[in-house]
Amino acid sequence: MSIIIDNDTKLVVSGLTGREGSFHGLRNKAYGTQLVAGVTPGKGGQDVEGTPIYDTIKESVEEAGANTSMIFVPAKFAAAAINEAIDSGVDTVIAITEGIPVMDMLPTYWKAKEKGVRLIGPNCPGVLSPGKANVGIIPAQFFDQGRIGVVSKSGTLTYQIGNELKQAGEGNSTIVGIGGDPIIGSDFIDILTLFDADPDTDLIVMVGEIGGDAEERAAEFIAAEISKPVVAYIAGFTAPPGKQMGHAGAIISGSSGTAKAKQEALEAKGVRVGESPTEAAQIAVETLRAL
Amino acid sequence: MDLLEYQGKELFARHGLPVPKGVHASTVDAAVAASETLGYPVAVKAQVLIGGRGKAGGIKIAKDGTEAHEYAGEIIGMDIVGPHGEGPFKVHELWVEAGSEIESEFYASVILDRSAKKLMVMLSRMGGMDVEAIAASDPEALVKQHVDPLAGLGETEAKEIVAQAKIPEEAAGQVASVLVKLVEVAQAEDATLIEVNPLIVNADGEVVLLDAKVTIDGNALFRHPELEELPEGADQDPQEAMAKERGLTYVSLDGNIGILGNGAGLCMSTLDVVAQAGGRPANFLDAGGGSKAEAIIDALEVITSNPEVTAILFNIFGGITRCDEVARGIIEATNKIGLELPLVVRLDGTNSEEGLALLAEAGLDNLHHEATMLGAAKKVVELAGN
Ligand SMILES: Nc1ncnc2c1ncn2[C@@H]1O[C@H](COP(=O)(O)OP(=O)(O)O)[C@@H](O)[C@H]1O
Ligand SMILES: [Mg+2]
């Protein structure tokens, strides 16, 4: 098992005819993901290297059996594409696009909630279940199949940690990039819940960063609800207040959203926090082997 | 993107919100001329991107031309430090506006509540002071109410907030319509923060927005070309300005170790491990997927334009980005700009072996390769000195 995506994932990519969308969509297919369709309005009937293109996501659900949508549409139109996906009948929407306005994401977030559709991202690297399926831009070669679940706000930092786990001989059930925007579809809490219920996950690594209070809320939630061990890493101890550190959501406002506060909140609930990505990976490996 | 007070007030005025009449001025003479047309008293207000200007002496009420001249002269060029030690911010511009006779001061704001995934309206009858101070001194005096993300804020709900905040009867109706409009402004203008402190009642019983602190979502500027073209707060950091021009994500810090990483999270983490190794990072610079020589030349030029920098660390974990391309970029950039400062490179991930071979072949004297992130951090700290 794994979470969110697996061998039964039937992927439709909005933006498959674009440069980025085709590059990554076809990479996902080469990895073994069932890529069943692409969507570009007005290009229905065409194909991208054998994958049929439809005008709407709904058609791809009805005709190609798509159950998971990936959004690779420019920021200006991305929220509309996510909304279309939510209404199409797929059960999971993974939005890679960076730079979607927050005011667009607010109603979209609530729409997904209301319809019971799982939204991952936006501004995320996607989801990888090693050996099963890859949806997004995560480079699969740095991750082996194994029993550690990873949930992260950051892409490259996840590759760093995944690679250290791999070098230590451990692998992952699923890696979930939840994204670095202020408003994202699924938070740490949502993904922790899925990992806790997944029989193939024994330990969870959570990678956070400055901004917002998702890590603090996760700390409370872990103490109350999660039975598996969680190891954390937080980036941004040296970040100054008021400055956006790359990700739209990575900003300390006044005195809230600091890395220190997040670390303290997690440690207060018994979650070990690594000082560096390397140390976090080491703690994860040690903890896993002691289980 | 943060707006200066006057830019925020111009935005309010466009949406029909009541703000004092005012004029923008960047010289003493222009400020005096503005005061004469407005009529006395006038408020002479420093335009910097930080609150607490009043306490810092950046806001003065002039009752005649002599005072206007005197105060404008004092305020232009002064350094303002924020309430939490932010800055200093040098004053280059003034906003001169009609002076109000203040009967009462309230606090009103609309912010994006990231936890609740909704906009939140806050209102208090205790204005003029820091919102954190209001919350601390009398939590019940600060009324907070979430806005339905689909319906917006209606007049009835606004009136309930006003009643709960115990805004006096005479001003209640006006304050309620201000709240409704502020939520509309947030939605229409993609503002993730609007703070009006103080929101006043003047001697004529009129409600007026006397201050404006507005943050616009940078990702939404494509919808607001008029905001995108606004002049920057003039006191911008030179490296940040240069980076912005070149489309780089750069934040200035006050150390001596220049840093480039790929990906925001990895880059933040790099700053942290350098600090743990006893070093002081000079900047955050996320190269993103930019591995091409031009991007690396741009980045190195920005980093080295900071005279404080004594050593540089490149921390690259190639995912989609290929390390051999990055290595080529580093070699070309180093040669092109004649970089002499020590450069520590950690190159891992896709095609890292090819990349490292290229670096070794190039035989650059100032280039040091380290296999791990922690090793690279230690090395750069050692080379940077203090
Ligand atoms: N137009 C004005 N007329 C009269 N008093 C003013 C005016 N503008 C500001 N003030 C006074 O100065 C104080 C500080 O101004 P404000 O614009 O809130 O700046 P800051 O929050 O940066 O100190 C206000 O609380 C108010 O008492
Ligand atoms: Mg104020």
Domain end point (choices A87, A120, A153): A120
Is A1 inside any structural domain? no
Is B3 inside any structural domain? no
Ligand 1: nearest atom to the Cα of B50: 22
| Same domain membership, residue A167 and residue A280 | yes
A11 is written with which tokens? Answer: 């992927």
pLDDT at B235: 53
Assign B292 a pLDDT band (cuts: 50, 70, 90): confident
For residue A206, pLDDT beyond 90? yes
- Distance between B18 CA and the closest CA of chain A, angstroms: 25
Higher per-residue pLDDT: A264 or B244: A264
pLDDT at B233: 55
| Same domain membership, residue B339 and residue B268 | yes
Nearest to A13 by CA among A76, A108, A88, A111: A88
CB B257 within 8 A of CB B245: no
Instruction: Give me the number of domains chain B comprises.
Output: 3
Residue B196 CB less than 6 A away from ligand 1: no
Domain end point (choices B98, B121, B147): B98
Percentage of the residues of chain B whose pLDDT score is greater than 90: 76
| Same domain membership, residue A276 and residue A234 | yes
CB contacts of B261 in chain A (<8 Å) are 156
Name the least confident of A25-39, B198-212, B242-256: B242-256
Residues 69-88 of A with CB under 8 A from B: 75-76
Q: Is residue A7 helix, strand or coil?
A: coil
Is B30 inside any structural domain? yes
Is A103 inside any structural domain? yes
- Distance between B217 CA and the closest CA of chain A, angstroms: 7
Using a CB–CB cutoff of 8 Å, tell me whether B190 touches chain A.
yes
| Same domain membership, residue B247 and residue B223 | no
| CATH code of B277's domain | 3.40.50.261
| Same domain membership, residue A275 and residue A150 | yes
Q: Which residues, other chains included, contact A40 with Cβ-Cβ below 8 Å and sequence gap of 6+?
A: A14, A15, A16, A17, A18, A46, A53, A55
Mean pLDDT of A192-210: 98
Residue B22 CB less than 6 A away from ligand 1: no
The reply to whether residue B265 touches residue A235, judged by beta carbons under 8 angstroms, is yes
Neighbours of B15 (CB within 10 A): 12
Assign B83 a pLDDT band (cuts: 50, 70, 90): confident
Domain end point (choices B72, B98, B124): B98
The reply to whether residue A246 touches residue B267, judged by beta carbons under 8 angstroms, is yes
| Same domain membership, residue B191 and residue B307 | no
Using a CB–CB cutoff of 8 Å, tell me whether B284 touches chain A.
yes
Assign B366 a pLDDT band (cuts: 50, 70, 90): very high
Mean pLDDT of B314-340: 89
B111-134 pLDDT per residue, tens = 999 999 999 999 999 998 888 888
| Same domain membership, residue A97 and residue A174 | no
| CATH code of A106's domain | 3.40.50.720
Nearest to A60 by CA among A30, A31, A32, A81: A81
Catalytic residue among B5, B93, B189, B195: B195
For residue A155, pLDDT beyond 80? yes
* Ligand number, closest to the Cα atom of B109: 2
How close is the Cα of B21 to the center of ligand 1, in Å?
14
Using a CB–CB cutoff of 8 Å, tell me whether A243 touches chain B.
yes
CB contacts of A276 in chain B (<8 Å) are 269, 272-273, 276, 373-374
Determine the Cα–Cα distance for residues A86 and A91; give it in Å rounded to an integer: 8
| CATH code of A213's domain | 3.40.50.261
pLDDT at B237: 82
Mean pLDDT of A40-49: 95
How close is the Cα of A54 to the center of ligand 1, in Å?
58
Mean pLDDT of B175-183: 98
Q: What average pLDDT does chain B have?
A: 93
Using a CB–CB cutoff of 8 Å, tell me whether A261 touches chain B.
no
Is A129 inside any structural domain? no
| Same domain membership, residue B252 and residue B213 | no
| CATH code of B50's domain | 3.30.1490.20
A24 is catalytic: no
Please report the number of interchain residue pairs, chain A to chain B, with beta-carbon separation below 8 angstroms.
164
Assign B174 a pLDDT band (cuts: 50, 70, 90): very high
Is A116 inside any structural domain? yes
B91-115 pLDDT per residue, tens = 999 999 999 999 999 999 999 999 9
Residue B59 CB less than 6 A away from ligand 1: yes
CB contacts of B218 in chain A (<8 Å) are 244, 248
| Same domain membership, residue B304 and residue B187 | no
| CATH code of B203's domain | 3.30.470.20
pTM of the predicted protein model: 0.93
Determine the Cα–Cα distance for residues A272 and A285; give it in Å rounded to an integer: 12
Q: What average pLDDT does chain A have?
A: 96
Nearest to A137 by CA among B42, B263, B233, B51: B263
How close is the Cα of A5 to the center of ligand 2, in Å?
50
Is B45 inside any structural domain? yes
| Same domain membership, residue A107 and residue A192 | no
| Same domain membership, residue B244 and residue B369 | yes
pLDDT at B231: 67
| Same domain membership, residue B348 and residue B273 | yes
Residue B43 CB less than 6 A away from ligand 1: yes
Q: Is residue A228 helix, strand or coil?
A: coil
Is B10 inside any structural domain? no
For residue B290, pLDDT beyond 70? no
Residue type at position A242? G
CB contacts of B277 in chain A (<8 Å) are none
Is B9 inside any structural domain? no
pLDDT at B120: 97
Is A267 inside any structural domain? yes
- What string of DSSP letters covers A87-135? HHT-SEEEE--S---HHHHHHHHHHHHHHT-EEE-SSS-EEEETTTEEE
Cα-Cα-Cα-Cα dihedral of B123, B126, B127, B131, to 10°? Answer: -70
| Same domain membership, residue B251 and residue B309 | yes
The reply to whether residue B268 touches residue A156, judged by beta carbons under 8 angstroms, is no
Domain end point (choices B173, B194, B228): B228
Assign B82 a pLDDT band (cuts: 50, 70, 90): confident
The protein residue whose alpha carbon is closest to atom 9 in ligand 1 is B210
| Same domain membership, residue A54 and residue A183 | no
| Same domain membership, residue B210 and residue B91 | no
Is B200 inside any structural domain? yes
Q: Residue A231: beta bridge partners?
A: A205, A272
Nearest to A156 among B253, B263, B281 (CB): B263
| Same domain membership, residue A32 and residue A100 | yes
Determine the Cα–Cα distance for residues B106 and B201; give it in Å rounded to an integer: 8
Is A127 inside any structural domain? no
| Same domain membership, residue B186 and residue B114 | yes
| Same domain membership, residue A273 and residue A143 | yes
Using a CB–CB cutoff of 8 Å, tell me whether A272 touches chain B.
no
pLDDT at B227: 84
| Same domain membership, residue B142 and residue B88 | no
DSSP state of B258: E
B6-61 pLDDT per residue, tens = 999 999 999 999 999 999 999 999 999 999 999 999 999 999 988 889 999 999 99
- With helix as H, strand as E and coil as C, how does A96-109 read? CCCCCCHHHHHHHH
Using a CB–CB cutoff of 8 Å, tell me whether B223 touches chain A.
yes
Mean pLDDT of A176-198: 97
For residue B287, pLDDT beyond 70? yes
Residue A216: closest CA among chain B residues belongs to which residue? B115
| Same domain membership, residue A279 and residue A162 | yes
Is A253 inside any structural domain? yes
Mutate which: B2, B122, B147, B268, vs A, most A CBs within 10 A: B268
| Same domain membership, residue B251 and residue B365 | yes
Nearest to B264 among A137, A180, A275 (CB): A180
Mean pLDDT of A13-35: 95
| Same domain membership, residue A257 and residue A176 | yes
Q: Which residues, other chains included, contact A291 with Cβ-Cβ below 8 Å and sequence gap of 6+?
A: A202, A203, A229
Instruction: Give me the number of domains chain A comprises.
Output: 2
Residues 112-171 of A with CB under 8 A from B: 137-139, 141-142, 152-160, 163
Is B5 inside any structural domain? no
pLDDT at B228: 77
For residue B232, pLDDT beyond 70? no
pLDDT at B238: 86
Domain of residue A22, residue span: 10-120
Neighbours of B370 (CB within 10 A): 18
Is B193 inside any structural domain? yes
How close is the Cα of B107 to the center of ligand 2, in Å?
9
For residue A146, pLDDT beyond 80? yes
Is A270 inside any structural domain? yes
pLDDT at B159: 98
Domain of residue B49, residue span: 21-98
The protein residue whose alpha carbon is closest to atom 2 in ligand 1 is B99
| Same domain membership, residue A50 and residue A15 | yes
Nearest to B49 by CA among B188, B247, B195: B195
| Same domain membership, residue A20 and residue A115 | yes
Residue B100 CB less than 6 A away from ligand 1: yes
Nearest to B354 by CA among B290, B298, B291: B291
